[in-house]
């Protein structure tokens, strides 16, 4: 009789341990700090500086970027997004073929309803000597297997590179996929 009780106690302990581990694994998944990642392409459409607005068809401001980033959850609704954007500036009517620079673009994202998100990023343009901020509004569309397509309207504001450069307001659009 004593051995049966010990065997029953053993099976109850093992089964509770398995359920407890499953519960811990489920809690870890629910409370994961990693929310996902994204890749895309961003195109600046216009720039406004010192009373003059120029559009992307002018080769002096034309550039295309290829953002990729990692998104992390916080204890609240806000998400932290660490993005890096390599930019290519081709010079069609110049002896210089192209210029490449890197934008370090960390920020916060605030999800709204129906796939909309508001965000604000800090901007440090390595190789350009500019810094600033980028407000954004994003709309995502769910696809199969957890992937999402999104488009984003961005309004980068930049200072520099020279003291006389002043403030430049840009506008652009970013398309991409998040996973």
Phi, psi of 77, rounded to the nearest 5 degrees: -85, -25
Q: DSSP labels for 99-159? A: EEEEEE--EEEEE-STTEEEEEEEEEEETTTEEEEEEEEEEEEE-GGG-EEEEEEE--EEE
What tens digit of pLDDT does each residue of 110-151 get? Answer: 999 999 999 999 999 998 899 999 999 999 999 888 899 999
Q: Token pair of 44, please?
A: 């600046």
Note the pTM of the prediction, 2 decimals.
0.77
Q: Which CATH class is domain 33-178?
A: mainly beta
Q: For the chain, what is the mean pLDDT? A: 85
What tens digit of pLDDT does each residue of 12-36 get? Answer: 554 454 444 444 444 445 568 999 9
The domain segmentation of the chain, as residue ranges, is 1-31, 33-178
Q: What is the pLDDT of residue 98?
A: 86
Q: What is the pLDDT of residue 31?
A: 65
């Amino acid at each position: 009789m004593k051995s049966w009780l010990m065997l029953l106690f053993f099976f109850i302990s093992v089964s509770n341990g398995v359920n407890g581990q499953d519960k811990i694994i489920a809690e870890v998944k629910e409370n994961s700090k990693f929310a996902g990642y994204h890749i895309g392409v961003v195109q600046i459409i216009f720039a406004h500086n010192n009373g003059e607005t120029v559009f992307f068809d002018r080769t002096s401001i034309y550039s295309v970027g290829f953002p990729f980033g990692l998104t992390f959850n916080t204890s609240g609704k806000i998400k932290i997004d660490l993005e890096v954007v390599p930019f290519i500036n081709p010079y069609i009517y110049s002896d210089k073929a192209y210029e490449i620079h890197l934008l370090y673009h960390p920020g916060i994202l605030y999800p709204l309803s129906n796939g909309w998100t508001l965000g604000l990023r800090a901007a440090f343009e390595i190789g350009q000597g500019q810094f600033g901020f980028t407000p954004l509004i994003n709309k995502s569309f769910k696809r199969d297997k957890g992937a999402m397509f999104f488009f984003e309207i961005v309004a980068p504001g930049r200072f520099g590179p020279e003291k006389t450069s002043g403030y430049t307001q840009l506008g652009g659009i970013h398309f991409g996929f998040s996973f």
